[in-house]
Amino acid sequence: MPVRNFGAKNEGVLVGRILKIIGLTLLGLLGAASLGLWLGQDWLIGRFVVALNQHLAVPVRASRLDVSVLDQFPRLSITLHDVVMQGSLPADTTRLLRARRLYCAFDATDLLRGHYRIRRLTLADGQLHLRRDATGQPNYLVLRPDTTAADEQPFALELRGIRLERVRATYTDAARQQFFALQTPDLRATVRLNGPQVEVTTTGPARIETVRLGSDDYFRAKDVKLNVLLDVDRAGQRVSIQPSTIGVGPATYSVSGTIDYAQAPRLNLQAAARQADVQAVLALLPPRLTRRLAGYRSRGQVYFEGTVRGEWSEQHYPAVDVRFGCRQAAFFHPEYRQQVDGVSLTGRFSNGTGQSAATAVLTLEQVRGQLAGRPFGGSLRLENLVQPTLQLELQAELDVARALKFFPVAAVRSGAGAARLHLLLNGPLTVLRQRPTARQARGELALRGVTLQLRDFRQPFSGLTGQLELRGADVAVSRLQGRLGNSDFRGRGTVRNATGWALGPGQPLRIEATVASQLLDFNQLLYAYQPAGSKRGGGPAAPAGGLHVPARLVLDVGLQARQVRYRRLRGRQLRGTLRLQNQVFSSPGLRLAAAGGQLSVRGTVDARQPQLLKARTVASCQQVRLDSLFYVFEDFGQHFLTSRHLRGTLTASAESDTYFDGQLRPLTDRLEAQVKATVRQGELLNFEPLQKLSLVADRATLRHLRFAELHNDFYIQSRTVYIPEMEIRSNVRAAALLRVTGTHTFDQQLDYHLRIPLLPGLLPRAAARADGPTLRLGIRGTESNFTVRYETGLPTRPGPGRSPASGPGPAAPAEAVAPATPRARHSWELKKPARKPAEPQPGDFFEF
């Protein structure tokens, strides 16, 4: 039969009863204590307020006070809600403290013995503003001079702990131009008072918003972990920092030293970093020196150590000496996915003998590393941060694509190829930015198959190969070749003020060069430079399109090109000089073989307004084929007389003022020009208005009208071409001598007048030139709808020397017959002669 353990069961029942008794006892005690506190809380709060006023030198306001056992369990606490504390400066309007809650905790054993000693303070959801005014007076002297108490006193302030929960604290020193700001999610401090000696231990996380010294911000937005031990001698006015640590990311800084504040503060501090990275080191340097490096990270051994010694006051700064470096480290940027490997260097920062920015020195020595397997090295010395003096030596073999990804340049979108760089700079930075000497700035840059897509250029520079040498402010280009879009170039020259243009905004850049090319494609070149977004200097956004020219660019370039393209133009053997200054192009002469002849032009193009260009030119052409000329210039925007109608060679000169819009379209309403032209061996083919002159010749002859030579001056103004009277001797016997005058508007309104001497073969040559029997005809209308009519009277004609501005052109002649019927698009209103005119013989030619 099984044996039952009745003893073990009885023991379990007994233990359960004991635990219940203890729990009920504790619950009763807690209830009794709570009841006692509830009954005596008014008395306790009253004693607390009286005693607190004895210790504080400034008033404190709160919306209400509560007594609680649970808020700071196991301690008893008095909670102040919506606390506002005034600072110790009488005229200061900024509150020292604002908080949602302030917990003052004391031990229950003290309460039982009749002693009410505050052991811990907890500040939650508040803002603490510590400051010193321009005279150095602080606002945080809130305790009376003697805050200690003897053991027999019933109420005392004996802080053993301070806790800051979700508190933002700031410190401002107006005299020294200092500002500190941090946020504490849960920062804890232990305070031990021993007469005038105060020992403070602070631990916990914090976020430093900024440490501002003067105009420089340090430790901006850094998460730190504090473990600081301070000994404060209030009698001797001295703070001793025992070996403490401050963690910044993976780095840990050790800090120790003393601060004497009996008069002006005197510092004697030492700091060192272990397991640091580049972010931790850069956080200690002035941000204006490290702004472009702020996003970079590092791996490997990076070290730092430094000292701060001396007086810190309005008249003096302490001596700062920082040493840092790395060994076989790697640096990278998370966004660019490029890394510099094997980096070693030693560095030092000191504010010098004068303990000021004017005597500060930053040095980097024995710099070595590799980027994409290509080595680089050099050294740097920067003196006087107020008026910096730079000493730089840099040698590097570069993969251009990798280098631009690791350290982007705003003006360059992308790149490729290889380069070799050797650079030496030595002198004041202001001089280097303006006009250094050859001893202050020199170097060499070799390019091998480099491609660059610049921000402000539509087409890339590709195949760049050459040698560039820095000589002071200038860059000598011994040889350089490459392509810009479809255009190629090769040449040599000098770039004046290259360092000033690169380092100083608003500096001019002058290029003196000779350039040769196999092909210049002006369809791309004229629009290659397009500033991105807006004008430099913060001006308004530039409109799209237009011929944009850099305001500070000066050119003096000798050009040679084997081929030139622009729209329909196909030119050869371009020669001449092109200059640019103040956004105005000029040339003493450019020559080009095109359309079977020679073209030349000189003049200026004002590009100061990209959407309104003005060209003032003198152009000439020799032996240019008429049909090719009309084809290249797209029939000059009209369809009445086109390239398919013309043959012959043109020799002409023209003086013109022409305006263009942003797309290089001519603004014809502003065009003014005077043209002197000579056409030789001319032919007029299938010209429709001549087909209506069957009165004087048959249609087959009029389809191929030939003339040996033609001279005349043409005037263009107010969208109208004025044609003074000219004589044309043709191969038509019945109309061997034609006199033509009239106007042709850019809206294709025609008003031509023909005079055909009757029976020219029967009259002497002199008589034929005089006014004799003449057939007068008028051609009026549009290109697609015109009439040929018989005229009477003498129209007024602009003479060869008359400018278009001097008169409105030919007057409308009197019409002898009614206009044609509306159904006919072209009308002929004279009757044909009774007999057929004589047929021209092959080879018949009549000249002046």
More confident residue, 797 or 602: 602
Q: Is the pLDDT of residue 122 over 50?
A: yes
User: Tell me: the pLDDT tens digits for 462-480?
Assistant: 999 999 999 998 999 999 9
Q: Which of 42-56, 206-220, 430-444, 802-816 has the highest mean pLDDT?
A: 430-444
pLDDT band at 807; cut points 50, 70, 90? very low
pLDDT band at 121; cut points 50, 70, 90? confident
On whether the CB atoms of residues 212 and 240 are closer than 8 A, the answer is: no
User: Tell me: the pLDDT tens digits for 278-300?
Assistant: 766 676 666 666 766 767 777 77
Which residues partner with 510 through β-bridges?
A: 496, 554
Percent of the chain with pLDDT over 70: 76
Which residues partner with 426 through β-bridges?
A: 391
More confident residue, 85 or 155: 85
Q: What does the chain come to in residues? A: 848
What phi-psi label fits residue 160: left (phi over 0), alpha (psi between -120 and 50 degrees) or beta?
alpha
With CA atoms as reference, report the closest residue to 677 among 632, 623, 729, 717.
Answer: 623
Report the pLDDT value the prediction gives residue 814, as an integer from 0 to 100.
35
Instruction: State how far the alpha carbon of 502 is from the alpha carbons of 263, 392, 561, in Å.
Output: 49, 16, 30
Question: Which residues are within 8 A (CB) of 292 and not within 5 positions of it... i.e. 6 or more apart?
Answer: none
User: Tell me: the pLDDT tens digits for 476-490?
Assistant: 999 999 999 899 999
Whether pTM exceeds 0.75: no
Query: For all residues of the chain together, what is the average pLDDT?
Result: 78
Spell out the SS3 assignment of 588-624: EEEEEEECCEEEEEEEEEECCCCCCEEEEEEEEEEEE
3-state secondary structure of 355: coil
Percent of the chain with pLDDT over 90: 22
Write down the residue that tokens 């993969």 correspond to. 399
Q: Is the pLDDT of residue 439 over 70?
A: yes
Q: Is the pLDDT of residue 603 over 70?
A: yes
pLDDT band at 258; cut points 50, 70, 90? very high
Which residues partner with 61 through β-bridges?
A: 84
Q: Where are the domains of the chain?
A: 29-175, 549-685, 705-848
Report the pLDDT value the prediction gives residue 731, as an integer from 0 to 100.
66
Q: Is the pLDDT of residue 427 over 60?
A: yes
User: Tell me: the pLDDT tens digits for 125-138?
Assistant: 999 998 888 887 88
Q: Is the pLDDT of residue 818 over 60?
A: no
With CA atoms as reference, report the closest residue to 369 among 342, 398, 337.
Answer: 342
Q: Is the pLDDT of residue 721 over 90?
A: no
With CA atoms as reference, report the closest residue to 389 among 359, 365, 367.
Answer: 359
On whether the CB atoms of residues 491 and 515 are closer than 8 A, the answer is: yes
Q: Is the pLDDT of residue 72 over 90?
A: no
What's the rounded Cα separation, in Å, for the pair 472 and 625? 52
More confident residue, 691 or 205: 205
- Mean pLDDT is lowest, of 134-143, 213-222, 289-298, 322-331, for 289-298
User: Tell me: the pLDDT tens digits for 266-282?
Assistant: 899 998 887 777 766 67
Q: Is the pLDDT of residue 420 over 90?
A: yes
N-term to C-term CA, the chain? 157
| 107-115 CB contacts, 8 Å cutoff, 24+ apart | 107/75, 107/76, 108/33, 108/74, 108/75, 108/76, 111/76, 114/154, 115/151, 115/154, 115/155, 115/156
Question: Which residues are within 8 A (CB) of 701 and not within 5 positions of it... i.e. 6 or more apart?
Answer: 731, 732, 839, 840
